[in-house]
Chains A and B, each alone.
Chain A
Amino acid sequence: MRRGETLGEFEQMVLLAVVLLGHDAYGTTIRREIEERTGRSIAIGALYTALDRLERKGYVASTLSDPTPQRGGRAKRIFRVRPSGAAALTRSREALARMWAGVRPDLLKGR
């Protein structure tokens, strides 16, 4: 993967949710975190597509947990952020911050 690549908005949200959740980041909790914080309803399929992409870029890593009874004895796929993911987040945030610098509220009114 190319160095310095920026993240899409949804990718950022997913990555941030993984960071926030720490050791408990898997499909259901990530989805719930994003839904609760943004009010957006997320399809499981779309979420895994994003996670998949993040994993291929090397931003997150995943492992299968032990089976849990609430899930009918199915395992969870636990995600955690890798250093390059954290770096990408920071990079995106800084890039955005630089862009936001100097944007006054009245400029946002549009025409």
Chain B
Amino acid sequence: MVRPPRVPLWLMRLSLARAEREPVIGDLVEEFGTRALTGRRSATVWAWQQALRSFVPNLERRASHRQAGRRLAMTKGTGPMDGLITDARFALRLLRRQPLMTLIAWLSLTAGLGLNILLFTLANAILLRPLPLVDPDRLLVMLSQRPTGLNHNFSYRDYVALRDSATTVEALVAYSRSEASLTGTERTEPVRGEAVSGNFFGALGVPLRTGRGLTPADDVAGAPPAVVVSERFWRSHFGSARLAGQTLTLNGSAFSIVGIASSAFQGMQLGMDASFWVPLAHMKQLTGSDWLGRATVSWLTLIVRPRAQATPSAVQQELNARLGALFTDRGRQSEAVVLQPGARGDSDLPARLQSPLLLLMLAGWLVLLVACLNVANLQLVRTEARRLEFAVRSALGAARGQIVRLLLLDALVLASAAGMAGVVIAAAMKDRAVALMAIFGRPVSVATPIDLRVVGAALLFSLAAAIIVALLSTLRLTFRQPAAMLGDGRTSTTRGRTPRRGLVAAQFALAMALVTGAALLVRTLENLRSTDLGFDASRIAVIEVAPATTSVDPAAARTYFDEALRRVSALPGVERAAVAHVMPLDFGGSRMSVDVQGYSPQPDEDMELNFVLVTPGYFDTMGIPVLQGREFDGRDVGQTPRRVIVNEAMARRFWPGGAAVGRFVRWLDSGPYDIEVVGVAANVHYRMVREEPRPSFYVPFAQAPVRGGVIHARLAPNWTGRLDELRRAVAAAGPAMAIARTSTLGEQAERNIADERMVGAIGVTLASVALLLAAIGLYATMAFIVGRRTREIGVRLALGATAPEVSRMVVRESLGLVGSGIGAGLFLALWAGRALESQLYGVGAADPLSLLGAALVLATAALLASWVPARRASHVDPVVALREP
């Protein structure tokens, strides 16, 4: 028998009286079973419809069962929950009786809750959700402390020594990101995966779709090459084929596919989408170089699964001692071991997005607060209408608590409906929000399920919203005596305006903070976009290529690049072309220690600098001015003499006097200083748009053993859209390399500021919603005030006031209201700017232009919102108004 989906079943059960559950749920289950035979999907839709449509009737029936004759909703109960259902039913009826008001209130709350649930869904996926492994919370990432910061990588030799000796550790797992060219399909394509130790699948408990995981037996030299692929990769490349006998050709070597990982597992690096996992022992087939044997190359991330009895500090102590011993054996300075939680692997995504996401969530709560104020405002209008009812109830002996409970129920019903819609909104928007994120300039791939944690948060947010709304709407109610409430029917013109005005002012104060924050974020984005990067980003195309097989050696690579450059330069739209080993604004880059002749570094001074390998013509291609000396040319295409070009920052750091050209450096700590500085180039933003240029240097491409690289081409202005032709020219240069990426540096710069773009986009959305809500609140209030003052306005008109004067009076009143809100909001806005400070670039936290702009936007919104009520006021017919009772 097919069971109906859980949530509708639960909704049904929740709404039914105990005695009814068995037969009614039975009906649902039975018919679902019959319907599921013809179509599972339509049966599911049916079950949902049934649950949702039956919810209210069930509650009403349940209430009428209990009430047995008590018709008036207010009860003198015996227990605290007595009459609750009756009240809830009553609340529902009231909400249904004022559909427009209810709709606006519901939409306000839905917007506020939806945004918050969406933000929480993102935060959950990135900051909270563990990887789908066995006992992920017990996993630790092993790092070591270096003077320059935390080191994330270890060599294979260190890994093996630690793995085989540590006693407090149940398993030590190693992995490394790995990229390879996939051949054997229609076209060569780059794929990303992970090289992992043999115990990776077993010790971590990686979930598998089918087949088996890699085992320690796969991770020995000479074992038949095995690979596990991701479910997504399997589907896109093999469809529904059978697993047995399939192979994958990576960098020219065949690996047989032994298993498919479950789609829930996308690799150890959150946000990166791994397609394959190969044993470390086969790294040589994959990269062509023997990384396993080299003790000085650190490239592995280590994950620790401690023994059940071992405390983290015991594990830390042991690993510390063992790593220290290894380092002293090799004569290296010892590094302290640092253990960090490993439930989410070792990705920089959480660390990078943590504070932006928290800030956005904070802003989200402010928006929710604006929405609550809005709803409370509307509620006040309704409680105004219900004042007589409350007075009667109060006079008949209803406790104040009961009235508050009634209002709370009202708010709860509204908030739960809005919360449900909010979950739907979050589910619909989450993919769009994820698309705003990037990791290392590539789209982020992360699962964002609406899981129990999200549902819990949605409930919590809804409950909080309901309580706030209820408290705000009882503000004035509960302080009144029934006699006063009964007595003061409709004569008052001014009373009842104060709390409502306060609510509107508060809305505008909050909106002021949010709009200012958004303005600061937009200004930041503008500043980033207009940053002078030091090169002509929009006109430079970059094509990254990687060796298609491991047989491509540096000599073959150089021959290939000569040919590729010849073909690219021959294109009519290419003004100049060159090759570098990495591309700008790609977050990474290479670093190397430098020893400068005549410079003695401080003990802790970081002498590791970024460098780029470039062919002659690189600076001309990029449009980077060479300030002193010369650029690389035909003299720099051999292995010797060794030369270097430094950037301005490096020249200033090591040769502050001026003349850097003609000085010498060396890479190693020994040997002659034989590398001559031949030029000083202007600074560029090489790694990140946001970062000030750092000291860095350039080395001739021919003087390093490089096997891949990036072709840079300076395009004629009308060629920037014709990357395909460039791509074809590069592809025609030979089969040695596979094209990994093609883009322009302008696009690269946009990807480089993806975090800021995401924060800006979400920030602007939040501010717009807050502004809209505040405007609705103002409109409703002004409309109400004008309605209440019809008589007074009639008198004014009768006594000679002109229609424009009346309009101006209304607008003045609303601007006064908004003005006090903006004034109070100024302080909130300054505080918001301070909170945002870490996200800003090129703009101060108290930027006057942003503050002024925000105030103007708010005032404009206020004018628009009060225009209709003002017009209505000016159209009051004095005769009619005065005749009204």
Contacts and interface: CB of A to CB of B under 8 A. Distances in A.
Interface of A: 26-28, 31-32, 41, 43-46, 48-49, 52, 64, 68-72, 74-77
Shortest beta-carbon contacts, A-B, top 3: A45-B54, A74-B26, A77-B23
Nearest to B31: A28
Interface in B475-531: none
B26 A75 contact: yes
Contacts of A28: 27, 30-31
12 contacts: A28-B27, A32-B31, A43-B50, A44-B54, A45-B57, A48-B20, A69-B1, A72-B1, A74-B23, A74-B29, A76-B23, A76-B27
A45 B26 contact: no
Interface in B14-66: 15, 20, 22-31, 33, 49-50, 53-58, 60-61, 64-65
A13 to B, nearest CB: 16
Contact of A70 (B1, B50, B64): B1
Most buried by B among A45, A46, A52, A77: A45
A70 B56 CA distance: 27
B23 A46 contact: no
B57 A72 contact: no
B694 to A, nearest CB: 67
Contact of B60 (A49, A64, A72, A77): A49
B3 interface: yes
B27 A46 contact: no
A27 to B, nearest CB: 4
A26 B24 CA distance: 10
Contacts of A68: 26, 30
A71 B29 contact: yes
Interface in B56-101: 56-58, 60-61, 64-65
A26 B29 CA distance: 13
Contacts of B54: 43-46, 48
Contacts of B29: 70-72, 74
Contact of B27 (A26, A41, A52, A69): A26
Nearest to A70: B30
A62 to B, nearest CB: 8
Contact of A45 (B3, B22, B23, B56): B56
Nearest to A46: B57
A27 B31 CA distance: 10
A71 B31 CA distance: 9
A48 B24 contact: yes
Given A49-B60, A49-B61, A72 B23 contact: no
Nearest to B46: A41
A107 B658 CA distance: 107
A64 B53 contact: no
A45 B27 contact: no
A72 B27 contact: no
Contact of A64 (B22, B27, B56, B58): B22
Interface of B: 1, 3, 12, 15, 20, 22-31, 33, 49-50, 53-58, 60-61, 64-65
A26 B56 CA distance: 21
Contact of A75 (B12, B22, B31): B22
Contact of B26 (A31, A49, A76): A76
A74 B60 contact: no
Most buried by B among A31, A44, A46, A71: A44
A26 B61 contact: no
Given A32-B31, A76-B26, 5 more contacts: A43-B57, A49-B60, A64-B22, A74-B25, A77-B23
Given A71-B29, A72-B29, A27 B57 contact: no
Contacts of B58: 45, 48-49
Given A44-B50, A72-B3, A52 B61 contact: yes
A70 B37 CA distance: 13
A48 B57 contact: yes
B61 A74 contact: no
A45 B61 CA distance: 9
B61 A27 contact: no
Contacts of A74: 22-23, 25-26, 29
Nearest to B23: A77
A28 to B, nearest CB: 5
A44 B25 CA distance: 10
A56 to B, nearest CB: 9
Given A28-B31, A44-B50, A71 B26 contact: yes
B30 A31 contact: no
Contact of B23 (A32, A64, A69, A70): A64
Given A74-B23, A75-B22, A48 B61 contact: yes
A27 B54 CA distance: 13
B3 to A, nearest CB: 7
Contacts of B1: 69-70, 72
Most buried by A among B3, B12, B24, B65: B24
B24 A44 contact: yes
Contacts of A26: 23, 27
Contacts of B30: 28, 68, 70-71
Contact of A46 (B31, B33, B53): B53
B554 to A, nearest CB: 69
A78 to B, nearest CB: 9
Contacts of A45: 15, 50, 53-58, 61
Contacts of B26: 27, 68, 71-72, 74-76
A43 B24 contact: no
Contact of B53 (A27, A32, A43, A52): A43
A76 B12 CA distance: 16
Nearest to B59: A45
A51 to B, nearest CB: 10
Nearest to B61: A49
Most buried by A among B26, B56, B60, B64: B26
Nearest to B50: A44
A39 B58 CA distance: 23
B64 to A, nearest CB: 8
A70 B33 contact: yes
A52 to B, nearest CB: 6
Contacts of A32: 31
Contacts of A77: 23-24
A22 to B, nearest CB: 18
Contacts of B25: 74
B23 A75 contact: yes
B53 to A, nearest CB: 4
B310 to A, nearest CB: 46
A27 B15 CA distance: 17
A55 to B, nearest CB: 11
Contact of A31 (B22, B27, B56): B27
Contacts of B65: 52
A32 B32 CA distance: 12
Contacts of A71: 26-27, 29-30
Contacts of B33: 70
Contacts of A75: 22-23, 26
Contacts of B60: 49
B15 to A, nearest CB: 7
Contacts of A64: 22-23
A24 to B, nearest CB: 13
Most buried by A among B3, B54, B55, B60: B54
Contacts of A49: 57-58, 60-61
